[in-house]
Amino acid sequence: MNAAEPPPEQKDTRILMIEDDIADAELVKFALREAGLAFDLRCVDNKEDFLEELEHGDPDIVLSDYALPSFDGLSALRLAKQKRPELPFIFVTGTLGEELAIETLKNGATDYVLKTRLSRLVPAVHRARREAEERVERRHAEEKLRESHEQLRALSIYLQHVREEERTRIAREVHDELGQELTGLKFDLSSLAAWLPRDQRQFQDDIKAMLAQIDAIIQTVRRISTELRPSVLDDLGLAAAIEWQTHEFQTRTGLQSHITLDVQSPVIDQELNTAFFRIFQETLTNVMRHASATKLDVRLTQEAGKLVLEVKDNGRGISEAQMASSRSIGLLGMRERAALLGGEFHIRGVAGKGTTVTVRIPLRRAAPNNGQREHENPNHRRSRRGAPRVEANPCH
């Protein structure tokens, strides 16, 4: 196939021409026919007719002279880009200096052809149409990709919601059913110990050992229930849960922890509570595993309609390579949790000085909960070194 031969899919090209010289228009038509291009050409020489054809004629390409008595090519180009951004636009003009040629291309023209070299016109038309079709295809592919991302995000939100519901259900069952059974068993053993004669020392010692073992199991049940879904998050809200988790982290690791709470918002949406709390838990896990820190500073604040969580340690500092690693699944998960709620997740490390994690998510009011308790940060504007202990999921 030579350069002037049109591919089958580009037959019947609809051309909109801006030209006031009949002789020049006929020369263009002749050049198009000689090159074997099948076309339907509409010629206009003023702005009104151009806009009419642009909006209702559905052209495949625009061929425009640069200068007309009542209209100019650059104005036509600007109008075409406003109305039909993907429409190819080629200047076909008698003379066009290098500076003007560059200006037309900067303004979005596809190409320019001199009337003295109309042999270039058909190859330019074919190339312009091919590039336009590629742009349209690329845009469609991007739209499909965006739709796929939106569907995946919707699925991710649903799966996270289901997972949290399942965590909550299991935590309650572990706490209520196992806790009650163990408490009942402990009561029965205590009653049995009271009925045994005092001289049965061996049995008394065995029962004491069993009671101690039951107490240890009760503590394990408490821990498992709390790790699945701490009741403090649902009962007292995010601020109290952050405070409690910070204290638990300090007790477990020995890191000196300072926490600042400054949240004035009323009840916060439950999804927002969960997202912040899970991000906070993952951040503490990373600090414990990788930071080698001795101090931790936690801030939960509210600014410009957003809730902001900042966690800063004085450890080794995360590197760019670690942040970009495909194995940093935890970072990807935290970033995705924030993005699902329209928020932002940022992490910054300075070698030898520590790492700072910042999460910003727009505030949302909680939906009505049919008369159930509503709490959020009952103690505003607190700054403490080592948060007070908050009992969660007590096993009665």
For residues 45 and 16, is the Cβ–Cβ distance under 8 A?
A: no
Architecture label for domain 8-138: 3-Layer(aba) Sandwich (3.40)
Q: Is the pLDDT of residue 369 over 70?
A: no
Q: Is the pLDDT of residue 184 over 80?
A: yes
Q: Could you tell me the pLDDT band of residue 370, with boundaries at 50, 70 and 90?
A: very low
Q: Could you tell me the pLDDT band of residue 5, with boundaries at 50, 70 and 90?
A: very low
Beta strand 354-362 with 344-350 is antiparallel
* Confidence at residue 299, expressed as pLDDT on a 0 to 100 scale: 94
CA distance 126 to 111: 11
DSSP element (H, E) containing 235: helix 231-235
Report the CATH fold assignment for 232-385.
Heat Shock Protein 90 (3.30.565)
pTM over 0.85: no
- Between 193 and 22, the higher pLDDT residue: 22
For residues 273 and 233, is the Cβ–Cβ distance under 8 A?
A: yes
pLDDT > 70: percent of the chain: 85
Angle, vertex CA 378, rays to CA 372 and CA 384, nearest 5: 145
* Confidence at residue 360, expressed as pLDDT on a 0 to 100 scale: 93
- Between 64 and 169, the higher pLDDT residue: 64
Taking residues 13-35, what's their average pLDDT? 90
- SS3 (DSSP) at 394: coil
Q: Is the pLDDT of residue 23 over 80?
A: yes
| List of E strands, the chain | 13-18, 39-44, 61-64, 89-93, 111-114, 256-262, 295-303, 306-313, 344-350, 354-362, 382-385
**DSSP collapsed to 3 states, 277-323:** HHHHHHHHHHHHHHHCCCEEEEEEEEECCEEEEEEEECCCCCCHHHH
* Confidence at residue 11, expressed as pLDDT on a 0 to 100 scale: 56
* Confidence at residue 237, expressed as pLDDT on a 0 to 100 scale: 86
- SS3 (DSSP) at 95: coil
Q: Could you tell me the pLDDT band of residue 325, with boundaries at 50, 70 and 90?
A: confident
Q: What is the mean pLDDT of the chain?
A: 81
CA distance 347 to 290: 14
Which residue reads 């007790």 in tokens? 251
Size of the chain, expressed as the number of residues it contains:
396
